[in-house]
Amino acid sequence: MIKLIYNEMLKLVRKKRILVIILIVAALIPLFTYAQYKVAQTVEEKLGTTDWRATLQQQIIDTQNRLSSSRISDEWRKQIEIRLAQQQYYLDHDINPAVPGAPSFTRSFLDQAITLFLPLMVMVIAADLVSSEFSGGTIKLLLTRPINRWKILLSKYITMIFAVSFMLLVVSVLSSVISGLVFGYGGWTMPVITGFTVEGGELVTSQVSLLPQWEYLLMELGLVWFVCLVIGTLSFMLSILLRSTAAGMGVMLATLIAGAILTNMASSWESAKYLFMLNLQLTDYLAGMAPPVEGMTLGFSLSVLSVWGLAGLLTSFLVFTKRDVY
Amino acid sequence: MKDKGISILLSISILFTLVLLGGLSWALKSYLFESQKVVELPKQLVEEQPGEKNTQKEGKFILALGDSLTRGTGDPTGKGYIGQLIDELQSKSKEKITLSNMGIKGQTSAQLLSQIKEKEIQRQMAEADYILLTIGGNDLFQQGQTLVDPSPTMIEPLQKAYLKNLREILQQLRTLNKDATIFMIGLYNPFSYLDDTLHTSQIVREWNYQSSEVCAEFPLIVYVPTFDLFQLKAEDYLYSDKFHPNGEGYRLIAERVASLINW
């Protein structure tokens, strides 16, 4: 089994999948870092102060002004109100929500990347694990070996898991190292407020607790990893069902983008919460943002994702072991 | 060589998979199973940042409080009288001017009173060299509702509540900051082009008079009238909503205030 996994890893490396991901991340993170740096600079110029309290207070005032506009939709208003309550909570407890530094950057980068960027990277790994064997014709060579089919597939699946972990390692290390060049490497022990819950459109602070930022990051990475695994499993399944990398990636991409669009509209369509694409923002639960459909919780989203993931895995194995290959 | 690289890659991946698994289970543990536990904010973790309080002490610090006039609603450049005032002051003086605009559209005196109880606002109030204030317009006009029935029985309770709030606001400001000059911008009559202008003008004049009386109870508060600015050519100086000033209107107010500030 270990040899099989080793073999699959070798293929991934030879096909330069890992390298491609490292390069993409290494190219994009400096861009984000620069953008973030520019934003911080303009804010400072405008306010004429580096004091975060003044900046945060100004943000609160701006948010309040947006609330007083009569043209914003009810859902959006709720979101803003929750964010407002949160900002006020930070200010009242004298905690800076965004100490500039490598860990803060990585934290917000993961928040942003969890719905689209990281799933895309996962797809680069997972989408052609099986289908490339079909298109290259190597599947026959592989299956003529005296090994059970399910073992071959399992080795591919496990390789996928490891590759996803490695990818997250690369992403978090690169984003910390590169952004640290600009923002410095401090702030690992900075307190982060977590445990905000949203009930009936109101922010509840009764379960709030403080975590050092590195603990928060670790939890966040765990959740990101889970999301990536589910996306990986589904791409893996499509790769088997469609036997074509392009089609598999296309379907997956369309679903993800549809999910991103739906997230903004779903609050009136309640059963949309059972779609996996709407449950990808797991990190929002840590941060205490309002979920796309009211009443969604971390447990709920994890269950939905698990069900989808397990179903995908089961389908993959059933189809792969039963299918005629010729 | 290649083989060794793959082995290392594999072992790193496996190791990190375990780390991630740990992170996931930790997140699960603290969110799903400890949700009943209420955690108090531990005091020692709260960041202490002494010495930061004085960062704003170079140059002049101007704090603007109030409603949509402070925000600049109606000015196409978005500056409002505050922005134009700062521009003007900056052109006169080399000193660095720091502005903090805390105006919120539609704010009434009661809302302002609760706003200035916030810690950060109080900190800024204590540090300010000048405080600019526009308040009362929403108390009086209530988004135009007052115009439907501008009778004394209607206005009187509004005015009473407003004056009480204003007194408390100024009291707060003075307690926190004894040295800052406070400019209280008066109301103009946005409806002076209407037919029953005599009546609304009278209400606004009375309102302004009472406000200025309250201001006079405290030292270093300058009441800045704007009624006359908009008296003759209101339409030229009003935005298309016929309520807020336009760019020109804000310029008039800014010029008037600018002529009062000298350092």
For A193-246, write each residue's pLDDT tens digit. 777 777 766 777 777 777 888 888 999 999 999 999 999 999 999 988 888 888
Contact A94, A56 (CB under 8 A): no
Asked whether residue A89 is assigned to any structural domain, the reply reads no
Q: Which of residues 12-51 of B touch A (CB under 8 A)?
A: 12-14, 16-17, 19-28, 30-32, 35, 37-39, 41-42, 45-47
pLDDT at B33: 65
Q: Which residue is it, tokens 């501008």? A: B150
Distance, CA of A96 to CA of B148 (rounded, Å): 47
Asked whether residue B133 is assigned to any structural domain, the reply reads yes
Q: Are residues B10 and B99 in the same domain?
A: no
**pLDDT above 70: residue A145:** yes
> Dihedral (C-alpha) B39, B43, B46, B52: value to the nearest 10 degrees?
150
Q: Which of residues 98-157 of A touch B (CB under 8 A)?
A: none
Q: pLDDT category, B55, cuts 50, 70, 90?
A: very low
Q: pLDDT category, B57, cuts 50, 70, 90?
A: low
Q: pLDDT category, B207, cuts 50, 70, 90?
A: very high
pLDDT at B51: 40
Asked whether residue B125 is assigned to any structural domain, the reply reads yes
| Mean pLDDT computed over every residue of chain A | 85
Q: Mean pLDDT over residues A66-93, rounded? A: 78
Asked whether residue A270 is assigned to any structural domain, the reply reads yes
Q: pLDDT category, B197, cuts 50, 70, 90?
A: low
Q: Which residue is it, tokens 């003075």? A: B174
Q: Are residues B34 and B148 in the same domain?
A: no
Lowest mean pLDDT among A58-62, A66-70, A177-181: A66-70
Q: Which residue is it, tokens 């300010």? A: B128
Q: What crossing angle do the helices spanning B119-127 and B152-176 adopt, rounded to 10°?
A: 70
Alpha helices, DSSP H, located in B76-229: 80-92, 109-115, 119-127, 137-141, 145-148, 152-176, 197-215
Asked whether residue A70 is assigned to any structural domain, the reply reads no
**pLDDT above 50: residue B56:** no
Asked whether residue B226 is assigned to any structural domain, the reply reads yes
Encode pLDDT of B111-138 as tens digits.
Answer: 999 999 888 888 889 989 999 999 999 9
Which class for B168: exposed (0-12), middle (13-18), buried (19 or more C-beta within 10 A)? Answer: middle
Please choose, from the candidates A81, A88, A7, A52, the residue with its C-alpha nearest in 3D space to the C-alpha of residue A190.
A52
pLDDT at A115: 85
Asked whether residue A84 is assigned to any structural domain, the reply reads no
Q: pLDDT category, B216, cuts 50, 70, 90?
A: very high
Q: Are residues B27 and B141 in the same domain?
A: no
Asked whether residue B46 is assigned to any structural domain, the reply reads no
Q: Mean pLDDT over residues B62-73, rounded? A: 91
Q: What percent of chain B has pLDDT over 70?
A: 88
**pLDDT above 70: residue B50:** no
**pLDDT above 80: residue B62:** yes
What contacts B238, CB < 8 A, 6 or more positions away?
B74, B190, B230, B244, B245, B246, B249
Please choose, from the candidates A207, A52, A32, the residue with its C-alpha nearest in 3D space to the C-alpha of residue A106.
A32
Distances (CA, A) of B46 to A94, A193, B41, B150: 7, 10, 8, 52
* Domain hosting residue A120, numbered range: 2-50+98-322
Chain A contact probe: residue of B1, B18, B40, B41 with most A CBs at under 10 A: B41
Distance, CA of A305 to CA of B138 (rounded, Å): 50
**pLDDT above 50: residue B45:** no
Please choose, from the candidates A11, A6, A221, A23, the residue with its C-alpha nearest in 3D space to the C-alpha of residue A106.
A221
Q: Is B90 on the interface with A (CB under 8 A)?
A: no
**CB contact burial B24-57 (16+ within 10 A = b; e otherwise):** beebbebbeeeeeeeeeeeeeeeeeeeeeeeebe
Encode pLDDT of B74-122 as tens digits.
Answer: 888 888 899 999 999 888 888 888 888 888 888 999 999 999 988 888 8
Q: Rounded to a whole number, what is the distance in Å from the CA of A94 to chain B's nearest CA?
A: 7
Q: Mean pLDDT over residues B172-184, rounded? A: 92
pLDDT at A318: 92
Chain A contact probe: residue of B31, B49, B58, B89 with most A CBs at under 10 A: B31
Task: State the CB neighbour count (10 A cutoff) for residue A277.
Answer: 21
Asked whether residue A184 is assigned to any structural domain, the reply reads yes
* Domain hosting residue B13, numbered range: 2-39
Greater pLDDT, B125 or A50? B125
Could B103 and A61 be called an inter-chain contact, meaning their C-beta atoms sit closer than 8 Å? yes
Q: Mean pLDDT over residues A117-122, rounded? A: 91
Which class for A234: exposed (0-12), middle (13-18), buried (19 or more C-beta within 10 A)? Answer: buried
Contact B246, B239 (CB under 8 A): yes
Greatest alpha-carbon span in chain A: 72
Q: What percent of chain A has pLDDT over 70?
A: 97
Q: Are residues B78 and B31 in the same domain?
A: no
Q: Mean pLDDT over residues B48-63, rounded? A: 60
Q: pLDDT category, B54, cuts 50, 70, 90?
A: very low
Could B99 and A48 be called an inter-chain contact, meaning their C-beta atoms sit closer than 8 Å? yes
Q: What percent of chain A has pLDDT over 90?
A: 25
pLDDT at B257: 92
pLDDT at A51: 77
Chain A contact probe: residue of B18, B24, B52, B60 with most A CBs at under 10 A: B24
DSSP secondary structure letter of residue B29 = I
Greater pLDDT, B254 or B54? B254
Decide the pairing of beta strands A202-204 and A197-199: antiparallel
Asked whether residue A90 is assigned to any structural domain, the reply reads no
Lowest mean pLDDT among A12-16, A192-196, B42-46, B198-202: B42-46
**pLDDT above 60: residue A118:** yes
Q: Which residue of B has its CA nearest to A52?
A: B52
Q: Are residues B22 and B91 in the same domain?
A: no
Contact A186, A105 (CB under 8 A): no
Please choose, from the candidates A283, A67, A306, the residue with its C-alpha nearest in 3D space to the C-alpha of residue A196.
A283
Q: Rounded to a whole number, what is the distance in Å from the CA of A148 to chain B's nearest CA?
A: 23
Lowest mean pLDDT among A28-37, A233-242, A291-300, B209-218: A291-300
Greater pLDDT, B2 or A325? A325
Q: Which of residues 111-170 of B touch A (CB under 8 A)?
A: 118-121, 123-124
Asked whether residue B14 is assigned to any structural domain, the reply reads yes
| Number of domains forming the structure of chain A | 1
Q: pLDDT category, B1, cuts 50, 70, 90?
A: very low
Could you tell me how many CB contacts below 8 A there are between chain A and chain B?
149
Q: Are residues B66 and B101 in the same domain?
A: yes
Asked whether residue B263 is assigned to any structural domain, the reply reads no
Q: What percent of chain B has pLDDT over 90?
A: 38
Contact A295, B21 (CB under 8 A): no
Q: Is A307 on the interface with B (CB under 8 A)?
A: no
Asked whether residue B217 is assigned to any structural domain, the reply reads yes
pLDDT at A267: 66
Q: Mean pLDDT over residues A156-181, rounded? A: 92
Asked whether residue A76 is assigned to any structural domain, the reply reads no
DSSP secondary structure letter of residue B56 = G
Q: Are residues B6 and B117 in the same domain?
A: no
Please choose, from the candidates A177, A30, A209, A194, the residue with its C-alpha nearest in 3D space to the C-alpha of residue A101.
A177
Encode pLDDT of B226-242 as tens digits.
Answer: 999 988 888 889 888 88
Could B20 and A161 be called an inter-chain contact, meaning their C-beta atoms sit closer than 8 Å? no
Joined together, the tokens standing for residue A15 give 């096909």
| Number of domains forming the structure of chain B | 2
Could A206 and B38 be called an inter-chain contact, meaning their C-beta atoms sit closer than 8 Å? yes
Asked whether residue A272 is assigned to any structural domain, the reply reads yes
Asked whether residue B119 is assigned to any structural domain, the reply reads yes
